[in-house]
């Protein structure tokens, strides 16, 4: 019985120490301004975590001091405002200039988005790009015109994605802005 009580007491003291140690360490938080690289990483992190950010949206940003300019195109208007709201809350950001374009509502563009997605990510050579939380090839469709944005591993993948998008019916033009990771 005595050993059991000692074990409980030891367990209680250890638990108490684990609980109070982080509280003591965090008692006097020191606020640090993120450096340029840290600010950029945090802004990117917050944008990628947006719940409705998809393969059909393209979000980018520029940082000038503590001012962040958001750029790109989105399908949902709420994603534009969500992006601005999360970036405003990043420590070190003093202002946000939201220049994100909301793409027009179009059933034909929606059809082209789905068909282009199937053409690109259904290809055996490109399917690996679709296994990420946010796929690295973004498909932007505006008035029947397709723009490919993102990063691929090599020039062959970039060209293949462009060819697959060009083969989709009802597409007026394809602009291939994919960037090769090694360059």
How do the residues of the chain divide into helix, strand and coil, expressed in percent and rounded to 5? 45, 20, 35
Closest CA to 172 of 147, 140, 144: 144
Task: Give, for all 183 residues of the chain, the pLDDT tens digit.
Answer: 555 445 444 443 343 333 333 333 343 333 344 455 689 999 999 999 999 999 999 999 999 999 999 999 999 999 999 999 999 999 999 999 999 999 999 999 999 999 999 999 999 999 999 998 888 999 999 999 999 999 999 999 999 999 999 999 999 999 999 999 986
- Which phi and psi (to 5°) does residue 63 adopt? -120, 125
Angle, helices 36-48/77-88, rounded to nearest 10 degrees: 150
Q: What is the pTM of this model?
A: 0.77
**Greatest alpha-carbon span in the chain:** 83
């Amino acid at each position: 019985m005595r050993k059991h009580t000692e074990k409980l007491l030891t367990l209680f003291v250890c638990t108490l120490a684990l609980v109070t140690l982080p509280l003591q360490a965090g008692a006097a938080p020191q606020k640090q301004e993120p450096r340029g690289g840290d600010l950029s990483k945090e802004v990117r992190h917050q944008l990628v975590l947006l719940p409705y950010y998809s393969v059909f949206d393209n979000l980018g940003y520029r940082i000038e001091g503590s001012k962040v300019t958001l750029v790109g195109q989105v399908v949902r208007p709420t994603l534009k405002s969500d992006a601005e709201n999360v970036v405003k809350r990043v420590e070190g950001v003093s202002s946000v200039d939201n220049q994100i374009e909301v793409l027009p509502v179009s059933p034909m563009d929606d059809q082209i988005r789905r068909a282009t997605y199937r053409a690109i990510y259904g290809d055996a050579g490109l399917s690996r790009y679709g296994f990420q939380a946010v796929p690295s090839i973004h498909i932007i469709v505006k008035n029947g015109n397709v723009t490919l944005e993102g990063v691929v591993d090599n020039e062959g993948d970039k060209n293949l994605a462009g060819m697959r998008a060009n083969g989709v019916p009802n597409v007026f033009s394809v602009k291939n802005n994919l960037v090769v990771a090694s360059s």
